[in-house]
Amino acid sequence: MLRCVNGFYYSHDSNGASCHPCSKTCPLSRPFLGKECSDTMDRICCKENEMVVRIGKCEKESMRDRPTGSRASHVNQGLRMQKRSTETSSVKKKEEANSQENHGHRFSAGSISLMVPLALIVMRFS
C-alpha cells in the first residue's frame, strides 16, 4: 500500500518499509493521485530515514536545529523571573514613594532583597 506524505510515498515490500520521493508534493489531508495523505505517515516516513518533517518535506536534522532543553528552560525561567520582579518592583516603587514622604527612607528591605537576585540573573545571562 502506497501513501503519499508531503512529497514522499511510503511503501512496504519484501525488503521492508521504505520511503520514496513523490513527483508532486502532497498537502496535508488532501489526496494525491488517489492515495491518502497523512501527517502521521509523514512523521513515520521521515523517522525511518532518520529525518524530520520540515515545511512539507523530510530533511536531515542538524544539531543546531535541535533546542538544548536545559539551556532554553533556564533562559525562559530567568526571563519569567525578571518579568515578575519588574512587575512587583513598580508596585514597590509606588509604596516607597508614599513611605518616603513619611519616613525619608529611599529603599525598603524588600526592594533590596528583590534587586540582588535580579542582578545575579542579569549578570549570568549577559
Q: In the prediction, which pLDDT does 122 show?
A: 77
Q: Tell me the domain boundaries of the chain.
A: 3-63, 69-125
Residue 110's pLDDT band, with cuts at 50, 70 and 90, is low
19 forms beta bridges with: 10
Q: Which residue has the higher pLDDT, 77 or 126?
A: 126
Q: In the prediction, which pLDDT does 24 show?
A: 40
For residue 8, how many other CB atoms are within 10 A of its CB?
25
Q: What is the 3-state secondary structure (H, E, C) of 63-103?
A: HHHCCCHHHHHHHHHHHHHHHHHHHHHHHHHHHHHHHHHHH
Distance CA 79, CA 125 (A): 10
Query: Burial, 60: exposed, middle or buried (Cβ in 10 Å; 0-12, 13-18, 19+)?
Result: exposed
35: which DSSP letter?
B
Residue 119's pLDDT band, with cuts at 50, 70 and 90, is confident
Q: Which residue has the higher pLDDT, 61 or 29?
A: 61
pLDDT at 114 exceeding the cut of 60: yes
